Amino acid sequence: MMKSTKSTEPIRVGVLFSETGVTSVIEESERMGTLLAIQEVNDAGGINGRELQAVSYDPASRPAKFAALAEKLILEDRVHVILGCYMSSTRKAVIPVVERWNALLMYPTLYEGFEYSRNVIYTGAAPNQNSVQLAEFMLREFGSRVFMVGSDYIYPYESNRIMSDLILERGGEKVGETYLPLDAPWEDYLAVAKKIKQAAPDFIFSTVVGDGTALLHRAYAQLKLDPADMPIASLTTCEAEIKQMGADIAEGHITSAPYFQSIATDENRLCVARCKARFGNDIVTNQCWEAAYFQAHLLASAMRRMNCDSVPDLLRALPGSEFAAPQGKVRIDEHNHHTYLRPRIGRAIANGQFDIIEEARHWVRPDPYLVSHTLQDWSARVQAHSR
Amino acid sequence: MKSGGTSRLLRELRSLRVVVFHPDDQDGQELIGQLGRIGCQVKAFWPPLDKLPEEADLVFFAMRPEILSMDLPWLRREGSPPVIPVVTYENPVIVEAVLQLNAFSVIASPVKSFGLLTAIAVAVSQAEKSRTREKYVVRLEQRLTAQRKIAKAKAILMTSRHMSEEEAYDLIRNRAMTKRVTTEEIADAVIKANEILGFDVKG
């Protein structure tokens, strides 16, 4: 591929987040984080004077559409870098495309691990940065009898395997495990909630994603189950899902994530304020928004340093690079292309935000190929966060 | 396809000691990089050593033309760790060499990170099963030989001592118990004595 040499020509990047379909709510917020960062880059002079331009399409939460649009971005729009994907099935569809054309995908979503591609940078949490922390917290605070409910695709299966191992290791018990199609109707969630009520676990581990998250919480609330007694623990239910479902039915449930909107640092407050100024006062931020935001900044600073957007150059600059993100400092690991992140546990409160009840003292190195997790690792690093 | 917990093999991936016989080129680096990400303990050499480092659990082996003439005694030794060939050529000569390695999985050049974990899991698991099967076959063969000897000894006793089959077997077993040896050894003794003294010659 020829490098553009004109120093005033804009640099285009592909943006692939669904604006329609089952996971559009969270993907819209990833798009928002991406566009905010791109605007900030341009306000600060772009890539050494060149404008950073987003070319954005709607892949409609469908893997095949993701693959087709990734190819279109690379071949027709001539982008070298794509910022995008939420569900693992959509990332898996895009990877062969970026590998074939030697493009770069930056993926801002937590996922189940066991992947490395030289053509992908992963900026969401790996299981050793969210699952272990969640298991440790739930087992300590609520007990070891768990009911697992997930959407029927790869991420829930692998997340549940990790959670099962951690729970069995502690002598805990899995009292139920059930998977629902991504587009399952309300009645299915109600049936699951009834099963949960009957099994009376200590907590529920939910790997339901997309619109189903709201349905699960609504079914839970309808059966008058009590979050103080038997909360839903999740790695994916964040501020965007809560806004979609209504804060009243989210209150009291637990989420493990490296970022919450309520993080009380100046960097975060200012960043949230800038986002509201651009997209409206009623928007909420969340872990996926934040990863989408900081990965675009990491990309821009790599482009500035190499003074181009060629993938071989970016792959020299990105690994090992750091950024002061809203969650604190983050860093891309040189060896596995995942990101050092700071694990946190939040409890949803009445205003649709999270009370951060625990956070790691330091960032945690990503370890996407860790098969057996141990609970010890994290408990040594947590500190109670009293508010 | 649901299973209980994570299998022992996957849990123990990080204690796997892997020897890589591969030149220090892009494939070699990709291979070692991904083994590092998976978390295996890796040692790399080129050219291949004629003696395996102690306690290797798995060997990656670059199937380069220059290794065809090498004599590597550990390759075919019983109890050698499983070998995963890394193939760059696919002509009959190389394919034939791969077949001789008795490999359970193969990595193709250019080496990619994707697929390596599965190749390792399949190779280690199949090698374990194959070792168990071999041991089982050896035990079966031994048992079969013993059964044949006992049958022959019984026949000798039945003819020479006019015993029933049951009496002949009881005699063998009782002797084995008093002498604290196996029934096979007693059967052996009966057969040898017969060969020397000719019990079965009817007098």
**Which DSSP state fits B96?**
H
pLDDT of residue B3: 52
Closest CA to B46 of B73, B79, B22, B66: B22
- Residue A382 parent element (H or E): strand A382-384
The residue behind tokens 């990089």 is B33
DSSP codes of every residue in A170-183: TT-EEEEEEEE-TT
DSSP letter for each residue of B40-52: -EEEEESSPPSSP
**CA A46 to CA A24: how far, in whole Å?**
29
For chain B, how far is it from start to end, CA to CA, in angstroms? 69
- Residues 6 or more apart whose Cβ sits within 8 Å of residue B128: B9
**Residue of chain B with shortest Cα separation from A92:** B114
Mutate to test the interface with A, among B1, B3, B6 (most CBs of A within 10 A): B6
A61, A18 contact by CB (below 8 A) = yes
Which residues fall within 8 angstroms of residue B60, CB to CB, at 6 or more apart? Answer: B18, B19, B20, B21, B22, B31, B83, B84, B85, B86, B107
Q: Which residue of A has its CA nearest to B39?
A: A369
> Which pLDDT score, from 0 to 100, does residue A306 have?
96
Q: Test A368 with B6 for CB contact under 8 angstroms.
A: no
CA–centroid distance for B174 within its chain: 36
Kindly report the backbone phi and psi dihedral angles of residue A160, in degrees, each rounded to the nearest multiple of 5, phi listed first.
-70, -35
Strand, helix or coil at A40? helix
Q: Per-domain residue ranges for chain B?
A: 8-114, 135-197
Closest-CA distance, A116 to chain B, in angstroms, reads: 7
Give phi and psi for A291, each to the nearest 5.
Answer: -65, -40
B11, B38, B113 ranked by CB distance to A372: nearest: B11
Verify whether the Cβ–Cβ distance B117 to A336 is below 8 Å.
Answer: no
Identify the bridge partners of residue B79 per DSSP, sorted by sequence position: none
Phi, psi (5° rounding) for residue A140? -75, -40
* Token pair 């900030």: residue: A40
Give bridge partners of residue B87 from the DSSP assignment: B63, B108
Q: Chain A: which residues have CB within 8 Å of chain B?
A: 114-118, 161, 164-165, 168, 335-336, 367-372
This model of the complex carries an ipTM of: 0.73
CATH number of A11-125+283-340: 3.40.50.2300
Q: What is the pLDDT of residue B203?
A: 34
Structure-token pair, residue A231: 């909360």
Q: What's the pLDDT at A5?
A: 52
- Chain Cα centroid distance, residue A61: 15
- Residue range B135-197 forms a domain whose CATH class is mainly alpha
Write the residue in A161, A335, A372 that is nearest to B37 by C-beta: A335
Parallel/antiparallel/unpaired status of strands A145-151 and A173-180: parallel
Q: Rounded to whole angstroms, how far apart are CA atoms A176 and A233?
A: 15
Q: Could you tell me the CA-to-CA distances from B198 to A279, B20, B126, B148, B201 in Å, in that order? A: 106, 61, 50, 19, 6
Topology of the domain covering B8-114: Rossmann fold (3.40.50)
CA distances for B91 relative to B60, B95, B111, angstroms? 20, 6, 18
Residues of chain A with pLDDT under 50: 1-2, 4, 377-387
Q: Positive or negative, the Cα torsion across A151, A152, A157, A160?
A: positive
CA distance A268 to A294: 11
CB contact under 8 A, B37 and A336: yes
Q: Please count the other Cβ atoms lying within 10 Å of the Cβ belonging to residue B120.
A: 26
Choosing among A371, A372, A373, A374, which should be mutated to test the B contact, i.e. which has the most B CBs within 10 A? Answer: A371
* Dihedral-angle region of residue A21 (phi above 0 means left; psi in -120 to 50 means alpha; beta otherwise): left
Domain ranges, ordered by start, for chain A? 11-125+283-340, 127-262+343-384
Which of A369, A370, A373, A374 would best serve as a mutation to test chain B binding (most B beta carbons within 10 A)? A369
Q: CB–CB of B5 and A164 under 8 A? A: yes
Whether A116 and B10 lie within 8 Å, measured CB to CB: no
For B117, the closest chain A residue by CA position comes to: A114
Q: What is the Cα–Cα distance from A155 to A235, expressed in whole angstroms?
A: 11
Total beta-carbon pairs less than 8 A apart between chain A and chain B: 33
Q: Assign domain A127-262+343-384 to a CATH class.
A: alpha beta
The candidate with the shortest Cα–Cα distance to A242, out of A266, A262, A267, A270, is A262
The first and second tokens of residue A8, run together, are 């005033």
- Token code pair at residue A374: 């141990």
Distances (CA, A) of A217 to A166, A237, B181: 25, 10, 72
Q: How would you write the pLDDT of chain B (203 residues) with one tens digit per residue?
A: 555 567 888 888 889 999 999 999 999 999 999 999 999 999 999 989 988 988 899 999 999 888 888 888 888 777 889 999 999 888 888 888 888 888 999 999 889 999 999 999 999 999 999 999 999 999 999 999 999 999 999 999 999 889 999 999 999 999 999 999 999 999 999 999 888 877 554 43
Does residue A127 contact residue A112 with C-beta atoms inside 8 Å?
Answer: yes
**What is the sign of the dihedral through the CA atoms of A89, A91, A92 and A94?**
positive
Q: Which helix (H) or strand (E) holds B143?
A: helix B116-160
Enter the tokens of residue A197: 């009520």
Q: Are B87 and B107 in contact (CB under 8 A)?
A: yes
Burial of A114-142, coded b for 16+ CB within 10 Å and e otherwise, reads: bbbbbbbbbbbbbbbbbbbbbbbbbbebb
Q: How many Å lie between the alpha carbon of B100 and the closest alpha carbon of chain A?
A: 32
